[in-house]
Amino acid sequence: MAISISADRKYSALLSKNGSNSKASKQPSIYDVFPRSPGLGGTAQASNPPGANQQPAISQPEIATNGFMASLKAKLSETTDDPESYLRSQSMLSALKAGKLTVTDATQGKEIMAWDKDSKAKPTKADNISKSDWTTFLNDHLKRDDHGAFQKTADGSYVDKHPDEKAYFGRVAGKYYYVTWPSDKTST
């Protein structure tokens, strides 16, 4: 039986192994926190033994459900004491209401234009994209600064390589997603 450790716990373990969690200390590699996905050069995952209960196939990806959109809106609506998080969330909520917030699940190869389930917006269908592990996907989509770190805007959003796009990479409903929306010209 394989034991899985969440990315947050791995990151914490890496920081404590180095004896410090200050920003001045060397940050772990993205490969340390997000291992490669199976089938993309990663390690094989154990399959369920024959006769074990398995989940039935889902007709639509998770990101195409009203439940996911409710979780996304709830996450964006959370209040925080961090001014950067607040500004980023407000920018993302504005894009959601305008129908310009895109959610990507690279490991499942799905992308969808998010909708506000509480408005009259109609659900959209998820598009297929190339499947990728998160490390490769982030390296392909995010700009880096002169020191090799991912570039951020004044509101803490990442800078997407697509012109005039902001990005967020984080958890929604317990799973990692990449979210993009149009950039305000004044926020970079």
The DSSP code sequence of 42-89 is SPPPPPPPTT---PPPPSS-GGGSHHHHHHHHHHHH---S-HHHHHHH
DSSP the chain: ------HHHHHHHHHHHHT---TTSPPPPHHHHSPPPTTTTSPPPPPPPTT---PPPPSS-GGGSHHHHHHHHHHHH---S-HHHHHHHHHHHHHHHTT--EEEETTTTEEEE---TTSSPPP-PPEE-----HHHHHHHHB-B-TTSSBPB-TTSPEEBSSTTEEEEEEEETTEEEEEEEEPPTT--
Who wins on pLDDT, 135 or 59? 135
Is residue 176 situated within a structural domain?
A: yes
pLDDT at 38: 52
Q: What's the pLDDT band for 124 if we cut at 50, 70, 90? A: confident
Q: How many domains does the chain have?
A: 1
Find the range with the poorest average confidence among 44-53, 103-112, 128-137: 44-53
Domain assignment present for residue 130? The answer is: yes
| pTM for this entry | 0.66
Q: In this structure, is residue 95 part of a structural domain?
A: yes
Whether 72 is in a domain gets the answer: yes
Residue 154's domain spans which residues? 62-182
User: Mean pLDDT throughout 72-89?
Assistant: 87
Per residue in 8-38, pLDDT (tens digit) is 455 455 445 545 444 444 555 565 555 555 5
Q: Positive or negative, the Cα torsion across 146, 149, 155, 157?
A: positive
Q: Is residue 178 part of a domain?
A: yes
